[in-house]
Amino acid sequence: MVWQENTRVIVMTTKEIERGKNKCVRYWPDENQTKEVGKFVLKNIAESSTTDYILREFLLTKEECTETRTIYHYHFTAWPDHGVPSDPGCVLNFLHDVNHRQESIPAAGPIVVHCSAGIGRTGTFIVIDMIVDLIKRQGLDCEIDIQRSIQMVRSQRSGMVQTEAQYKFVYLAVQHYIDTLQQRIQAEQKSIQLGREYTNIKYTAEAAGATDPVKVVTNASACATTLSPPTPTMPPLVTRSSCENLKPPVPPRPSPDSIVPRPPDEPLQLYENIPLKDKPLVVPLTASFNIGPPPTIAPPPPPRKS
């Protein structure tokens, strides 16, 4: 079947032995070993392990045929029988790696998925892959009907998605994928918005200064090369002459003509330099004079104008 359908990726979601029972016959050889199956020869050329799965690389050849095909075997080991993985993220990461490998192979045939009975874990994995692929093609606004999808695959193979826990796990995995995709879209939109703001700032600066940014960077580098002193290994010596050069300049003294005199403390000193005839009569308030008694007769009235 693998040769007939030109399958290049095989997904295995069961362990060879679970709960002391053989769940799957080992149909591949050990690493760097070869196994003959009928007219076919299978060689295991590489194995690598991750936290949740083992990746094996096979070379498949057929008798009387010079063609050799590379088969990638993804063995998921974190899925218990009649149960579900503890984290839907590990299944989504595994599904991403499988699809990425499938898309990288030109003209690859369909992916082969199997577990022990081929209905529980296999059906759950296939339904999750179908809905994730639908979201990738149509976006988050597409119509998602998990119940109808399960009924469709059950019409082709009875018993697909075997238990209630597996049925709920499909919902959890799809919800986890949608939440992750929304966070990624928001981060990309934020990054694009920041890029637009930076572009607007750059264009505004270029329009205002009409300066080539490349020349600005070149000139800045030249200035930095010219003006930047070499980094000294020891601090420079401080001399007396260098300290004198660092003193602030002494402000010049004002000329005598520009000096404003301070007013005297006593008011009488204001008139010391005034000639006698120009001096006003200033009588201290504390002085006492004998001017005699007041007049008994009123002074005559002023003369009238003729």
Question: Would you please indicate which residues are annotated as catalytic (active-site) residues?
Answer: 115
Q: How far apart are CA 115 and CA 53, in angstroms?
A: 14
Please, are residues 170 and 128 in contact by the beta-carbon 8 Å criterion?
yes
**Angle, CA of 238, 240 and 245, to the nearest 5°:** 90
Q: How far apart are CA 94 and CA 92, in angstroms?
A: 5
Segments in the chain forming alpha helices (H): 88-104, 120-138, 146-156, 164-209, 213-227, 240-246
Q: How far apart are CA 78 and CA 213, in angstroms?
A: 54
83: Cβ contacts below 8 Å, ≥ 6 apart: 163, 165
Please, are residues 40 and 59 in contact by the beta-carbon 8 Å criterion?
no
Structure tokens belonging to residue 207: 């329009």
- Cα-to-chain-centroid distance, residue 106: 35
Q: How many CA atoms lie within 13 A of 79 on its CB side?
A: 30
> Which of helix, strand or coil describes residue 270?
helix
Please, are residues 28 and 43 in contact by the beta-carbon 8 Å criterion?
no
Please, are residues 49 and 150 in contact by the beta-carbon 8 Å criterion?
no
Which one, of 83, 122, 98, lies nearest residue 50 by Cα? 98
Please, are residues 102 and 122 in contact by the beta-carbon 8 Å criterion?
no
User: Tokens 């826990």 appear where?
Assistant: 165
